[in-house]
């Protein structure tokens, strides 16, 4: 029996929301998700395939997957965390801290170590990495965001915070 498109869409969204909930504000790479576990047993095999095709999960081994930062960001949006009193202020504080670094917009870009951003905002480093790498600023606010370089430094473009 073939499931309806609406059922498959619900299964897809449910998978992303569960994984984002399980990671929370922690490091995305730290969690493995086993498709045969009690929590994920009802996620369809074709849903796992689609999640991989869209770049939301990576296959690890046997029945284990890792969520990507893009998948985490999609899950956060589906859960509506970006609008909650617990999460929204963190996004705002991070945006303000990054905007302070590019004040005046005289240089092409500014640089802020993740550890410094965490210390000044009170936001965990793992969450900052997830927000930046998951492009949550772009997706939630439709604004130019920053990127993370290999030295764990946030690269803040001159256009940061401006409309996309």
Q: How far apart are CA 17 and CA 13, in angstroms?
A: 6
pTM (2 decimals)? 0.92
SS3 of residue 51 by DSSP = helix
Dihedral (Cα; 91, 88, 123, 150), 10-degree rounding: -30
Q: How far apart are CA 122 and CA 45, in angstroms?
A: 39
**Torsion sign over Cα 22, 127, 57, 62:** negative
Architecture of domain 82-157: Orthogonal Bundle (1.10)
Highest CATH level, class, for 5-79: mainly alpha
With contact defined as beta carbons under 8 Å apart, do 92 and 122 qualify? no
Which residues make up the CATH 1.10.10 domain(s) of the chain? Answer: 5-79, 82-157
pLDDT in tens, 131-157: 999 999 999 999 999 999 999 999 999
pLDDT in tens, 61-110: 889 999 999 999 999 999 999 999 999 999 999 999 999 999 887 778 99
């Amino acid at each position: 029996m073939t499931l309806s498109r609406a059922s498959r869409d619900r299964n897809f969204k449910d998978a992303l929301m569960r994984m984002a909930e399980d990671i929370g504000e922690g490091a995305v790479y730290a969690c493995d998700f086993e498709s045969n576990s009690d929590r994920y047993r009802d996620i369809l095999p074709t849903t796992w395939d689609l999640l991989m095709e869209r770049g939301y999960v990576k296959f690890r081994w046997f029945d284990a997957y890792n969520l990507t930062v893009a998948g985490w960001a999609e899950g956060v949006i589906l859960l509506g965390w970006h609008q909650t009193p617990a999460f929204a202020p963190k996004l705002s504080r991070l945006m303000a801290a990054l905007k302070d670094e590019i004040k005046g917009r005289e240089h092409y870009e500014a640089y802020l170590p993740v550890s410094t951003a965490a210390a000044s905002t009170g936001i965990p480093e793992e969450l900052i990495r997830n927000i930046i790498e998951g492009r949550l600023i772009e997706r939630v606010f439709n604004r130019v965001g920053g990127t993370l370089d290999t030295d764990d430094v946030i690269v803040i473009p001159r256009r940061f915070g401006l409309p996309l």
